[in-house]
Amino acid sequence: MRLAVLQHVPFEGPAAIAGWAAIQGMPVSAVRLYEGEALPELSAFDMLAVMGGPMSVNDEAQYPWLGPELACVRDAIGAGKAVLGVCLGAQMIAKALGANVYPAKQKEIGWFPVERTARRHALFDGIPASFMAFHWHGETFDLPAGAVHLAQTAAVPNQAFAAGSRVLGLQFHMEATPASVKDLLNHAGDEIGDGPFEQGPDAIRAGTGHCESLWPLLVRVLGNLTHAAASSK
For residue 81, how many other CB atoms are within 10 A of its CB? 19
**Considering the domain boundaries, does residue 207 fall inside one?**
yes
At 189, is the secondary structure helix, strand, or coil?
helix
**Considering the domain boundaries, does residue 161 fall inside one?**
yes
**Considering the domain boundaries, does residue 136 fall inside one?**
yes
Q: Count up the domains in the chain and report the number.
A: 1
Task: Say what the pLDDT of residue 233 is.
Answer: 58
Whether 232 has a pLDDT exceeding 70, the answer reads no
Rounded to the nearest 10°, the torsion over CA 102, 16, 147, 82 is 120
Rg (CA), the chain: 16
What amino acid occupies position 50? V
Asked whether 7 and 51 are in contact (CB, 8 A), the reply is yes
| Alpha helices in the chain, H assignment, sequence order | 16-24, 66-78, 88-96, 178-188, 201-206, 210-231
User: What is the average pLDDT value for the chain, to the nearest integer?
Assistant: 96
We report the CATH number of the domain holding residue 129 as 3.40.50.880
**Considering the domain boundaries, does residue 129 fall inside one?**
yes
**Considering the domain boundaries, does residue 233 fall inside one?**
no
Range of the domain at 23: 3-228
Q: How confident is the model over 146-198, as pLDDT tens digits?
A: 999 999 999 999 999 999 999 999 999 999 999 999 999 999 999 999 999 99
**Considering the domain boundaries, does residue 29 fall inside one?**
yes
Task: Say what the pLDDT of residue 179 is.
Answer: 98
Asked whether 4 and 84 are in contact (CB, 8 A), the reply is no
Give percent of the chain with pLDDT exceeding 70.
99
Cα–Cα nearest to 1, from 231, 233, 226, 222? 226
**Rounded to whole angstroms, how far apart are CA atoms 209 and 223?**
23
**Rounded to whole angstroms, how far apart are CA atoms 95 and 90?**
9
Q: How far is CA 18 from CA 4, 7, 71, 160, 174, in A?
A: 11, 12, 24, 21, 13
